[in-house]
Amino acid sequence: MRIGLITSAPDHPVLAATTALLTARGHHVEALDPTGPPPGSPADVYLLKARSPAALALARELEERGAPVVNPAAATELCQDRVAMAERARRAGLPFAPTRAAADAAELLGLVEAGELRLPLVVKSRHSRRHDLVTRVDDPAGLRALAREWPGEPVVAQPYLSSNGWDQKLWVVAGQLFCTRRRSELAGPEHPELPDAAAGFGPAELPAERARIALRVGEVFGLDVYGVDLLDGPAEPVLVDVNAFPGIRGQAGAPEVLAALALRIGGAAPVVPAAPVVPGPRVDGADARTPAPVDAGPGTAAG
């Protein structure tokens, strides 16, 4: 099978590991630079890792030629607009944070001064991309500084939710959950340096409601590979962002599941014998069980 990677960084850890698994089993993996010409003949399936306008345009062209793309271009593009993302999530009943759009930080300042928004706020670029704006603002002076540093940048604002200084990062690949804890980039001076909290945290420790929300996101947004950012709200977890095809770094088993997904979507899903199961997160009061990765034999990928 031919598997295409739409990316300018095929050496990204999750892509490199997935490529190694696929090529070891006899499949051909080729990387497509999003800024380059489309291939003469489409591959059996493409993994859309890049999210630039050029990458989305290439993915759409390949889809029009009948090639399956993971994630589809339309689903990926939806996750680039944080206003459309919030609207889609809230219509589906997901607990997405209230999200207010503004032309720029100067307009946000006017809304705060008019009493329509209350500080502190989390301010983000409206359009998600590499090196976009994501910051916490505690006072009007902070908004004035943003207006100077990011003039004309369309933004969204969400209420800042106090936390313990750690974020729970959740990823889903083909319905399988992965997670870890990471120091929050929005942690403020009230959060002193904390010991490493990532060790010992995996899907089995994930609360059932968070697992349910993460899996529901894939259904609502039409995504097979994605990440979600969840925070502790006053009454329930609060969804603050959805990322199409994130990095998923350091998650054992993720490349195997991604390789198996590519083969299944591409039409050559392996026939895997019954596999042992390992405990997963408790969902709806029952133990979710996930097949342990197995070696599916020549020409297939474990997962």
- Mean pLDDT over residues 149-159, rounded? 97
Q: Give tens-digit pLDDT for 29-86.
A: 999 999 988 898 999 999 999 999 999 999 999 999 999 999 999 999 999 999 999 9
Q: Which stretches of 99-185 are assigned E, i.e. beta strand?
A: 100-102, 121-125, 134-137, 155-159, 166-173, 176-183
**What pLDDT shows up at residue 38?**
87
Decide: 29 and 55 in contact? Cβ < 8 Å.
no
**What pLDDT shows up at residue 161?**
84
pLDDT at 189 over 90: no
User: What is the chain's length?
Assistant: 303
- Mean pLDDT over residues 245-254, rounded? 93
Q: Give tens-digit pLDDT for 269-303.
A: 443 333 333 334 433 434 433 333 333 333 333 33
Q: Give tens-digit pLDDT for 119-137.
A: 999 999 999 998 999 999 9
pLDDT classification of 226: cutoffs 50, 70, 90: very high
* Distance of alpha carbon 264 from alpha carbon 152, whole angstroms: 44
**What pLDDT shows up at residue 167?**
76
Decide: 171 and 180 in contact? Cβ < 8 Å.
no
3-state secondary structure at position 259: helix
| pTM, 2 dp | 0.84
Tokens of 44: 């059996």
CATH class of 98-159: alpha beta
CATH topology of domain 166-244: D-amino Acid Aminotransferase; Chain A, domain 1 (3.30.470)
**What pLDDT shows up at residue 296?**
35
Torsion of CA 71, 72, 73, 76, to 10 degrees: -40
**What pLDDT shows up at residue 169?**
86
Lowest mean pLDDT among 1-5, 11-15, 145-149, 268-272: 268-272
Burial 149-161 (b: 16+ CB within 10 A, else e): ebeebbbbbbbbe
Torsion of CA 102, 97, 135, 205, to 10 degrees: -160
What is the residue-wise DSSP string for 13-57? HHHHHHHHHHHHTT-EEEEE-TTSPPPSS--SEEEE---SHHHHH
Q: Taken in order 216, 244, 155, 102, is the CA torsion positive or negative?
A: negative
**What pLDDT shows up at residue 299?**
39
Decide: 240 and 97 in contact? Cβ < 8 Å.
yes
Query: Domain residues of the chain, as ranges?
Result: 98-159, 166-244
